Amino acid sequence: MLITLDAKVLARYPDMQVCGLVVRGVDAAAVDALSFDGWPTPETGRAEEVVAHWKALHKTLSADKHARCSIAWLVKAAATERLRRIHPLVDLYNQASLGSLCPFGGEDIARLQGALTLTLAHGQEGFVPLGRPDELQRPGNGEVVWLDGEDQVVCRALNWLESDRHKITERTCDVVFVSERPVPQLPDPQDGMTWLARKLAGAAQRIHAFRLDAAHPQEDA
């Protein structure tokens, strides 16, 4: 699978970095057996600082006034005890996200049609929002989106809305995790990604870590 940080995104955010893992041959039973240690509790002041930075940044990621960063929702849900377990792999990347205060996402590789690209939308790409499989949306022109190999939207506004088409399910065998860092003032997701790799080390056949930036904008994994 080819994972790409498009030059159009780098032109807008020259310091953009994407940290990720490609995990193949997931053993569902082994993942289910992993201990769940609860949701990490970020330090309140630091969490507020990070969320405020993301809120300001999201105004440049999408013209949609509803666009939000996933970490903002996670922090609020965890603080109010509304964060629930969804699927073992999803729970793991949500734990990594809270622990590092970085937005994490995970997609089923089998549904990505051979590619995952962070780019700017033209506005005609199709997007099926998570939990609403019969609804078709279009991203805004110039919105920062992840696209699959058929130019269908995987996630809108960098890490706001996930697609129902590419979601992790009980049948997922291969998965890619990503976390974006558009500016250096935000936390580095590397520690969270390393933690995630260690948790999955005994539950997958192969784990490949990667990092995209201006010097290395593409990875074949």
Instruction: Quick: pLDDT tens for 153-199.
Output: 999 999 998 999 999 999 999 999 999 999 999 999 999 999 999 99
Domain map (residue ranges) of the chain: 2-220
Question: Does residue 107 contact residue 191 with C-beta atoms inside 8 Å?
Answer: no
pLDDT (0 to 100) of residue 191: 97
CA atoms of 21 and 204, how far apart (whole Å): 12
User: pLDDT at residue 134 above 80?
Assistant: yes
The pTM of the full predicted model, rounded to 2 decimals, is: 0.96
Residues 85-132: pLDDT tens digits?
Answer: 999 999 999 999 999 999 999 999 999 999 999 999 999 999 999 999
pLDDT (0 to 100) of residue 194: 98
Specify the 3-state DSSP secondary structure of 84. coil
The correct CATH number of 2-220 out of 3.40.50.720, 3.50.40.10, 3.20.20.140, 3.30.1330.20 is 3.50.40.10
Q: How does the average pLDDT of the chain come out, rounded?
A: 95
Q: In what order do the strands lie in the sheet with 2-5?
A: 161-162, 153-156, 144-148, 115-120, 2-5, 218-220
Cβ of 161: how many Cβ atoms within 10 Å?
23
Q: In what order do the strands lie in the sheet with 17-24?
A: 105-108, 175-181, 17-24, 206-212
